[in-house]
Amino acid sequence: MGALHEGHASLVKRAVRENEAAVVSIFVNPTQFGPHEDFAAYPRDEPADLALCEKLGAAMVFAPTVDEIYPAGDATRVQPGPLATRLEGAARPGHFAGVATVVTKLFAIVRPEVAYFGQKDFQQLRVVQTLSRDLRLGVRVVGCPTVRDSDGLAISSRNRYLSVTDRQSALALSRALRGAEEDWSRGERDPAKLLQRVQRAVAGPGVALEYVSVADPITLDELARPADRALIALAGRVGKTRLIDNVLLGVTLEEIT
């Protein structure tokens, strides 16, 4: 959605490295924003985005206007399945219908063979993988690791909204996930204990936790008993900024398709 940062750059670099030609779509999609979300204020810097894509070796940037993607009379929407009803789907009703619709349109226009999506928006990655499979779109959807700043915070376009104090508070999110990852490496498999570990680590001033989930990374169903793989995902508000993050345990991105 533009305001490209090192996380996006990592996707472009991989696309350039693994394919004959890489196309970058840049489009702030209005249909995935709720009525009280930050569509109008969402950061945009198309000249800088174009310069970065050229520097990284992208063959093309597709940056349509809203009227091109949603012309007068446009009425068809893509409704994703159960994967989209929990976590971000529950917190932001209609969000994934907007994502699924615009991704279907972008795939139909550009006709890529492969598409690269970041792990930070893991539920989005799974929704798009399932979308491409179910609608027979013929696009292989590849997950790429979350890129983090040196302090551990997942890089996001919304990080620019954080004050210095807010940024320090936001570090509780990645620290909590790292702590759960350490527990997992020591053999902890009880989803309730992993959940409590994250909740305790985030508790305190500065972060208003919206949800923590310990789920199966394929289905996103909450885990009720110990398992050999897990996704721990969370969302919280730091000041006025809403942030999400996650960690995969016992499974790699390459194994999730």
5 is catalytic: no
Strands 230-238 and 241-249, bridge-based pairing: antiparallel
H helices, E strands: number in the chain: 8, 7
User: Do 250 and 184 touch, CB atoms closer than 8 A?
Assistant: yes
Q: Which residue in 5, 8, 36, 95 is the catalytic one?
A: 8
Burial label for 204, CB within 10 Å (0-12, 13-18, 19+), is exposed
| First-last CA distance in the chain | 23
Stated as kind and residue range, the H or E segment containing 60 is: strand 60-62
Return the bridge partners of 36, or none: none
61, 105, 99: which is closest to 79 by C-alpha? Answer: 99
CA distances from 214 to 55, 187, 201, 251 (A): 39, 16, 15, 14
What is the number of other CB atoms lying within 10 angstroms of the CB of residue 22?
23
What is the number of other CB atoms lying within 10 angstroms of the CB of residue 132?
19
Distance, in Å, from the CA atom of 115 to the CA atom of 22, rounded to the nearest integer, reads 9
* Catalytic residue positions, numbered: 8
